[in-house]
Each structure stands twice: as structure tokens, then as C-alpha cells.
């Protein structure tokens, strides 16, 4: 089971994420901001209160995202992609 092992807000609505399977990169939360419970994340002060919870990430008022969702949409960092050939 994949888990989030590190989360850090780095820029507007993006989080720097490290997963237990070694993947790391940016996760963009902005596509979720207009969805019901996630609307509160539009407040940057509140957004920055993200923490690891039950292997995923969560905010104080119970908005949460699973590690599986994060892995699926993670924009991997170039460090993680070192050695991979980019098809252009």
C-alpha cells in the first residue's frame, strides 16, 4: 500500500509530495477547489495547513486525498525521472 511520507505546500495550490514507493513531485490541488468540501482550500492560509493523515493527506476540516489519487496525478520531479528517456 502506497503512503504519503512527506507533504509541503510550495506554491499556489501545489504540494511537494514524497510517496513511500519513491515517487516524488508536485501535486496540483487546483482541479479540486470547486468541488464541494474542497472549496475551503481556496484560502491559502488554510491550504497551507495540510498534513499527512492515514497514508494520504488531509486538512483540519476533513478534506482529504488518498495516496492512490495523488500518485495517479503526481507531476514527478526531474530528479525522480533521472535516467528515463523522454519521448519528444
Asked whether the whole model's pTM tops 0.85, one would answer no
pLDDT > 90: percent of the chain:
80
Nearest to 71 by CA among 20, 8, 11, 35: 20
Give, for 45, the enclosing helix (H) or strand (E): helix 44-47
Domains in the chain with CATH codes: 4-76 (3.30.2020.10)
> Exposed e or buried b for every residue in 33-61, given b needs 16+ CB within 10 A?
eeeeebeebeeeeebeebeeeeebbbbee
- Taking all residues of the chain, what is their mean pLDDT, rounded to a whole number? 89
Q: Tens of pLDDT along 28-37?
A: 999 999 989 9
**Statement: residue 13 has pLDDT above 60:** yes
Amino acid at each position: 500500500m502506497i503512503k504519503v511520507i512527506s507533504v509541503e505546500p510550495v506554491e499556489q495550490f501545489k504540494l511537494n509530495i514524497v510517496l513511500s514507493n519513491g515517487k516524488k513531485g508536485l501535486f496540483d490541488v487546483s482541479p479540486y477547489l470547486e468541488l464541494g468540501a474542497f472549496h475551503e482550500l481556496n484560502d491559502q492560509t488554510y491550504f497551507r495547513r495540510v498534513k499527512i493523515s492515514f497514508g494520504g493527506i488531509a486538512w483540519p476540516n476533513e478534506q482529504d486525498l488518498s495516496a492512490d489519487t495523488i500518485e495517479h496525478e503526481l507531476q514527478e520531479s526531474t530528479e525522480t525521472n533521472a535516467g528515463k528517456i523522454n519521448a519528444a
